[in-house]
Structure 1
Amino acid sequence: MKRALHIITGLGVGGAERQLRALLTRLPLPSDVVTLTNPGTVARELRADGVRVTHLGMAGNRDLGAVPRLARLIRRGGYDLVHTHLYRACVYGRIAARLAGVRAVVATEHSLGERVLEGRPLTPGTRALYLATERLGRATVAVSGTVAGRLRQWGVPAERIHVVPNGIAPERFRYDPHARAAVRARLGVPADAVLVGGVGRLVPGKGFPDLVRAVAGLPEEVRLVLAGEGPLRGGLERLAAELGVAGRVLLPGECAVPEVLSAMDVFVSASTEETFGLAALEALAAGLPVLHVTCPAIDELPPRAAPGARRVAAGAGALRAALRTELDRAPHRFPVPEAVRHYDIGRAAGRLMDVYEGAQSR
C-alpha cells in the first residue's frame, strides 16, 4: 500500500474531523484529504501538519457533479485505498472510488444513532441509500460496539464490520494553568467563577438546550461555555436570553479544544444518542470530572477505568441536580484514568492499518 485518500464531508471542528487529524499523525501511510464542503478549522490544522487538503466545493446533497469530479481526482492521485468519513462522503466517495477503479474502499461510521444520523433525523431514504452504497466498499469501521450493533441491525453483514474505537493523544489535553487563565480572560470569566462546559456541534440531539436550562437554575457564579458551531447557535442564544442568563452562557464558536478544557471545572455530555463520546474522553484526559448521559467510550469499559466520570439522567432537572452534587465538592482535577490510556491514538491507528491490509487483500 503506497498512498491513501481520506474523503470527509467537512472539516469544521467536530469529533469525526478531529479524529481524522489525530489518526493522520500516527498512520504510517502517506495520505491526502478531500473535504466535500466547509474547509474550516481542521483543514487549516491539517495543512499546518503538512497534509495536502483539497476542497471539492460540493454545493449540496444533490450536487451529482461531485461524483465525476471526485472520481477524476482519485484517478489522478493514483491512490491504493480510499477511506470515507461521515454520511455524505461515504455515499459519494464510495461511488467515486469504484468509478476510479479503486477496490480497497473503507468507510468509518462515526455518528449513527438510533433515530438520528449526524444530528439529523433518520429517514427510510437515508437508510436505503446508505445500505446501497455500503456494498461498494470492502469494510465498514464502527467507532464503538454500540455503532457496530446498529449497523448489524440495519443489515450490514457482520463480517464487513470492524470495531476500531476512536483514539486520542492524551498529552494534547493535559491540563495547562496558563491556557486556563488566558481562555478565561478572553471569555470574561472571573478566576473564582465555576465554569461548566460542553464541546460539540450545536445541533439537535446534543442536549445543549437542557444544559442551558440546568445552569440557569444554579447560583450566579456558575457559567456555561459551549465550544462549537452549528445551526442551534441562534436558538441557544435566545433561550439564554429568555431565561435571563445571557451573560452566563458563552458561545465562543469553534476554538481549540485542549485550551477550553483547561478553562473548565466540570464537563457535561448531555447527548442522549452518543456514538462514542470523544469529547468526554478528552475531558478525562484534562483531569476534569465528567457527567455524561450516554457515552459508549466510557460505558463499554469497566467502571473503575474512569473514576472521574459519572452517568446521569437526561433532562434539565436531572442535569441541574447532578451539577449541584458535583459543585458541592470543591472543583478539582483527577489523575488521567485508565480509560484514556485504553483509547490511545497509536492503538487505534494500528487497528485501522489491519483493516486497510484486509481490505486490500480481499
Structure 2
Amino acid sequence: MNELRVLSIYEGFFSGGARILHSDVVRGLSGGAQRHAVLSIEGEMHREATRQPMTEDACYRALTAAGVPVSALRDRFGGEGREDAREVGRKAGRKGGHGSGADVFSRAELAATARATAAADVLLSLKEQPLALLNQAGLPYRPVVVCLHRSDPENQGPALDALRAAVAAGRVRACVCCAESTRAAYVAAGIPAELMHIIPNGVDLLRFRPDAVRRAAMRSSLGIAADAPVTVFAARYAAMKNVPLFLRAARIHLGRDPGAHVLMCGAGMTADNAELTADITAAFGDAPGLLRRLSLLGVRHDMETVYAAADVVSLTSSSGEAAPLCLIEGMMCGAVPVATDVGDCADLVAGHGFLTPAQAEPIAAAWSRAAALAADFAPALARSRERFSQTRMVTAYGALIERVHQDAVRAVRPARRRTRTRAGVPYGA
C-alpha cells in the first residue's frame, strides 16, 4: 500500500499554540502510513516585536529533526516596504477589503506551489490564512482540510472570505475545529456544519506532568522559595491576550501577598518590548518595588519546567481563544487554571480551577484561592489526563485525513468512467 502524501501549508513559523500543536500532529503522523511535508509561505516573520527567520523557530527544528521536509516560498519579507504593504492590506481586510500584500503571489511562487501540491494527496491548511494561496487559479486540485484554532472568524480579516471561497469552490473537504466554540462560530459565519469535525487539543503527557525536580530547579534559578505561590502567564504579546488586565491583577496579587511571584512567558514578553514596558509602568507605577517578583521570561522551550514550577496557570484573554494550549499544558503539570470566559475555557476549567469575569480584582482573588487549593485540585487534574492525550488527538487527525482522501478517490472514479465512455478510449491514453 502506497503512503498517503500530506502537505501542510503554514503562513509562517512563529511562536504560538496553533503551530506547536499542528507540528506535533505532523510529527506524530509522519513515517507511518502517511508521509508529511510542510510548505511555509513566509521564510521569515515579524510579530510581537520580534523578527524571526523560519530556521530559528522551535517547531521548524522539531519537524526537520523528525525528518519532515520543510520549505518556504519566500526566504524573507523582502524589506520593510513589502512588510508595510502587507500591514496596509491586513488593515483593509479587517474592514472587509482584499488584496493584502501577503495575498499577492509571483509566477515563481505559484509554480513552486503547484509542484508542491501536485506531489501531495491531501493538503492541510494551518488556519484559514494560507487559503489565499491555495485559492489561486491554476493550482492542481487536491482536497483541503482546514485546521481552525480560534473562535472569532470575524476578526481574521480577508481570511474568512478566503475560507468561504475555498468551500464554495469545493476545495475544502473538511474543517478540524479544536473546540466546540470554534465549530459554532464558523457555522454561524456561514461555513457548512457538515464540514466541521471537532478534534480536541492534546499534549504530550510524558512531557507535561507534575515534576518535583523540575519544580525545585526552576524556582531555585529564579530565587523563588519552595512554598511561594507562583502564577504563570504563557501567551504571546497580542491585544486578544489582554496583557494590561493581567498586569493589573498581578499588581493587586503581588501587593496583597508579599511571598507571591508572577512569571510571564511568550513572544514579546521581554523588557525590550516597548508596549509591554508601557503596560507594566501603567500597572505598577505606584509600586515599582513589586516588580522584583514579576519575571519576564520571553519565549521558552522548556515550558514543562515553567509549568511544573507554578501553582496557577492564568489566561486573561478578551477574544479569539478556542481551547488554549497553555491551560492544558499547565493543568497537566499540576497548575490550577484560572481563566476568563472565552472560547471553550469554561469547559476546560470546570472542575479543575476557576472561571473569572474580566476584572482585575476577581482574577487576583482567584489566583490566591487556586494556589491555596492546589492540592485539592490535584486528583481531578490527574483524572483528566487521558482526555488531553496527544496520542488521542494525533490518531483522530490521521483518521480524518485518510477519510478525506478516500472520499476524494471515490468521487474521481465515477468521473473517470464517464470520461472513458464518452471518449471511447481508455482513460489517460
Determine if the TM-score, normalized by the shorter chain, exceeds 0.5.
yes
- Give the deviation of 1:36 after TM superposition: 2.6
- Give the deviation of 1:297 after TM superposition: 5.0
Pick aligned residue for 1:110 from 149, 153, 162: 149
Structure 1 length-normalised TM? 0.86
- Give the deviation of 1:168 after TM superposition: 1.6
- Helix, strand or coil at the partner of 1:10: coil
Q: Distance in 2 between matches of 1:255 and 1:338?
A: 27
- Helix, strand or coil at the partner of 1:7: strand
For the 8 Å contact 1:103–1:138, the answer to whether it is kept is no
CA distances 1:181-217 after superposition (whole Å, capped 9, x unpaired): 3333444444443221111221111132211111111
Aligned twin of 2:296: 251
Aligned twin of 2:65: 48
Matched ranges for 1:222-237 at <5 A: 222-230=260-268, 233-237=273-277
After superposing the two structures, state which structure 1 stretch, 103-112 or 132-141, moved more: 132-141
In structure 2, relative to structure 1, the CA distance for the partners of 1:11 and 1:259 (3 Å cut) is: farther
Larger radius of gyration: 2
Gaps of 5+ in 2: 46-53, 78-82, 87-100, 409-429
In structure 2, relative to structure 1, the CA distance for the partners of 1:75 and 1:114 (3 Å cut) is: closer
The amino acid that maps onto 2:265 is A
For the aligned residue pairs, the C-alpha RMSD in angstroms reads: 2.8
In structure 2, relative to structure 1, the CA distance for the partners of 1:220 and 1:188 (3 Å cut) is: same
Aligned twin of 2:216: 181
Q: Which has the higher contact order (CA 8 A, sep 6+)?
A: 1
Q: Distance in 2 between matches of 1:293 and 1:67?
A: 46
Pick aligned residue for 2:333 from 269, 279, 286: 286
Matched, 1:10 2:12: yes
- Give the deviation of 1:109 after TM superposition: 1.0
CA distances 1:263-319 after superposition (whole Å, capped 9, x unpaired): 212111222332112211111111111112136556447x8xx63222222121221
Structure 2 length-normalised TM? 0.73
For the 8 Å contact 1:79–1:102, the answer to whether it is kept is no
Q: Distance in 1 between matches of 2:70 and 2:159?
A: 28
Gaps of 5+ in 1: 118-122
Q: Distance in 1 between matches of 2:374 and 2:129?
A: 45
For the 8 Å contact 1:288–1:333, the answer to whether it is kept is no
Aligned twin of 2:413: none
For the 8 Å contact 1:179–1:263, the answer to whether it is kept is yes
For the 8 Å contact 1:197–1:268, the answer to whether it is kept is yes
Aligned residues with identical type, % of pairs: 23
Pick aligned residue for 2:364 from 308, 320, 325: 320
For the 8 Å contact 1:266–1:331, the answer to whether it is kept is no
The amino acid that maps onto 2:359 is G
Q: Distance in 1 between matches of 2:67 and 2:341?
A: 36
The amino acid that maps onto 1:294 is D
- Give the deviation of 1:157 after TM superposition: 1.2
Q: Distance in 2 between matches of 1:113 and 1:339?
A: 27
